[in-house]
A and B are shown apart, each in its own frame.
Chain A
C-alpha cells in the first residue's frame, strides 16, 4: 500500500530525512518512533503531499506523490500534530466542509458525518464551536476529519498527545479498531503507545531509519539476551584491584556469559555488568560461582534490556561514543 524508497528531504542547513526506505502492507498499523526532530513529521508531510521530496520516491496505493498528488490525497486521511480545525466553526459544520473538499459524495455526506461523529465520540458536541472544546475533544474531531472520507491510508502524527490517560486508551482502541480496514502509520515518541497499538515499528533518528522490525522480533530481543548486575564483597573485607580482577575472570568463565564489564568499585565492592548470550539463564550459575569461591554475593539482579534501552542505544548521538563504559580498572580509581 505504501512504498517509500530513498526518501530524502534536504534543507539549506540540514538533512531532515535521509534516504528512508520502507514498505507498509495493506491493513497494517505501523509505528514511527523517534525523538523530537527526528524527521517523523517531515516524512509524513511528504507522504501526504504537503511538500515534495528532495530525492527518492514514495507511492501510496500505487500513486506517486510527485506525479499524482491528487490521487494520493484522495486516499489519505491526515491528522497533523495540531488538529487542523477552524476554531470558529461548529463541529458539524466543520465536518461538512471537510467532507466536501475531500470529495465525499453529497448524497451520503450527512449520514457519513453522523457515523464518524459516533465513532469518534463527538456527537454530543456537534453544535459547539471547536475553539471552545477541550483538547481531547478537539483531537477527536481531528481524527474524525481524517477518517471522514474513508481513506485507504491514515497518517496520524502524535494522535494521543495532550490527552489524559482515559482518553489515551480510548483513542488507542479506536485506532486499533480502524486497522484492517485502513492502513495506518502513526508517529509517537511514547514507547508504550507503540507497544500497545502497532504491529511494526520503525525507529527514526536524525533523519535516518535506524531500525525496523515487527513487535514480536523486538520483543524477543528484549527477553532473549539478558544483562545481570552483580556485586561481590571479599570475604574478609580485604579489597584489592587484583582480587577484583580475579572475580571478573571467574565470572567470565561461567557458561553462557558473553561479556563481563567491570564498573566503578564503590565502598570496596566489586561491581560488574554481566551480559549473557541469547537463551542462557546465567543467574543461578553466577551465584554459584561466587559462593563457591568463598566470596560474599551482595547483589544479583537482572536488568532487562527494555525497549527504552534499545531505543536509546539506537538513537544515541553519532558523535558520542556508544554508551559502553570502558573497562575501568580499580587501580585507576585509587
Chain B
C-alpha cells in the first residue's frame, strides 16, 4: 500500500508540475508581449511616442545601440521617460544610467563635462553626443554616429535661393558658408533643377529663401531626404509683393504641414532699432 508520505509527495509533485507549466505559459506570453509590444499614446501631442523617423532610424541600425546617460540620480526619472520609448523600439537598444558622483573615474575617462547631463549615443564603435534630452538631439546623434565621416551642409539652388557665392549682406549666404567651413563642415550646393536629387550624405539641407514655387520633383526630393533621416533648415520669406516677388511655394508648405509645421504668413516688426 502506498504510504502517506509517498501520497503526499505525489500530490505535491503534481501541484508543482502544474504550477511550472502555468509559469512557463505565462512566461512565454509575457516574452512575446514584450517583443511585439503595441503602444497606444493617449496624450494630446503624443508626447511619449517617438516619431516615425526615429523609429525608422532605430530599426535600421545594424549593430548594437548604447545610450549612456550621465547625471545625478534625480535626473534619471525624466530621462527614463524618453529612453524607455527608445528601448521599446528595438531590443537592440541598451540604456545605461550612470551616476556622475559614484563613477567619477569612469566619468572623467568618458569625457563627461559640465553642464550635466551628458548623453552619449554609441552605434557600433562610433560615439556621438546629444546636446539635450530631446528626441531630436538623441536621434540626431544616432544619425550622426551612423553616418560618421565628413559632415556636409548642402544648400539648395535653382529657385532663387540665397547664393553661397554672394558675400554681400542681405540675402547672400557667402559669409554663412565661410563660417560653416571654419567649423569643420563641408559645404555643397545641390541644384534642384533640372533634376532634384538630394544625396543622403548631406548632413543638413539648407533651403534659404527660394523665390519661386518649388516644382513637385523638388518637393518630393526634400520630403524623401528628411523622412529618411536627413535634417533640413528651411527658411521661407513671407510671400509679399514688395521689392521682389516671392511665391507662396504651396508644394513645400504642404510638405511642412504634413510634418506638423504650419507656415503663417506673419510679419515681425522689430521697432527696437537693435536689429
A55 — which chain B residues lie within 8 A by C-beta? 1
Closest partner residue, chain B, to A10 (CB atom): B4
A11 — which chain B residues lie within 8 A by C-beta? 4
A54 — which chain B residues lie within 8 A by C-beta? 4, 7
A55 to B1, CA, bound (A): 9
Closest partner residue, chain A, to B8 (CB atom): A12
**Minimum C-beta distance from A11 to chain B (A):** 6
A12 to B7, CA, bound (A): 10
B243 — which chain A residues lie within 8 A by C-beta? none
Closest partner residue, chain B, to A11 (CB atom): B4
Contacting residues of chain B (1-17) with chain A, CB-CB under 8 angstroms: 1, 3-5, 7-8
As a 0/1 sequence over residues 168 to 186 of chain A, the CB contacts with chain B under 8 angstroms (1 = contact) are 0000000000000000000
**Minimum C-beta distance from B187 to chain A (A):** 84
As a 0/1 sequence over residues 1 to 31 of chain A, the CB contacts with chain B under 8 angstroms (1 = contact) are 0000000001110000000000000000000
Most buried by A among B1, B4, B5, B8: B4
A54 to B7, CA, bound (A): 8
Closest partner residue, chain A, to B4 (CB atom): A10
B1 — which chain A residues lie within 8 A by C-beta? 55
A12 — which chain B residues lie within 8 A by C-beta? 4-5, 8
Main secondary structure of the interface of A (DSSP, over half): loop
**Minimum C-beta distance from B111 to chain A (A):** 67
Most buried by B among A10, A11, A12, A55: A10
As a 0/1 sequence over residues 54 to 69 of chain A, the CB contacts with chain B under 8 angstroms (1 = contact) are 1100000000000000
As a 0/1 sequence over residues 1 to 43 of chain B, the CB contacts with chain A under 8 angstroms (1 = contact) are 1011101100000000000000000000000000000000000
Contacting residues of chain A (150-175) with chain B, CB-CB under 8 angstroms: none
A65 to B7, CA, bound (A): 18
**Minimum C-beta distance from A36 to chain B (A):** 23
**Minimum C-beta distance from A51 to chain B (A):** 12
**Minimum C-beta distance from A20 to chain B (A):** 16
A154 to B5, CA, bound (A): 33
A54 to B3, CA, bound (A): 9
Closest partner residue, chain A, to B3 (CB atom): A10
Closest partner residue, chain B, to A12 (CB atom): B4
A55 to B2, CA, bound (A): 9
B5 — which chain A residues lie within 8 A by C-beta? 12
Closest partner residue, chain A, to B7 (CB atom): A54
A262 to B5, CA, bound (A): 50
A10 to B8, CA, bound (A): 10
A11 to B7, CA, bound (A): 10
B7 — which chain A residues lie within 8 A by C-beta? 10, 54
**Minimum C-beta distance from B68 to chain A (A):** 58
A258 to B141, CA, bound (A): 113
**Minimum C-beta distance from A13 to chain B (A):** 9
**Minimum C-beta distance from A331 to chain B (A):** 51
A61 to B58, CA, bound (A): 70
**Minimum C-beta distance from A106 to chain B (A):** 36
**Minimum C-beta distance from B162 to chain A (A):** 85
A10 to B7, CA, bound (A): 10
**Minimum C-beta distance from B14 to chain A (A):** 13
A10 to B5, CA, bound (A): 10
A10 to B4, CA, bound (A): 6
A–B complex contacts, Cβ < 8 Å, 10 sampled: A10-B3, A10-B4, A10-B7, A11-B4, A12-B4, A12-B5, A12-B8, A54-B4, A54-B7, A55-B1
**A residues neighboring B (CB under 8 Å):** 10-12, 54-55
Known: A54-B4, A55-B1. 4 other contacts (CB 8 A): A10-B3, A10-B7, A12-B4, A54-B7
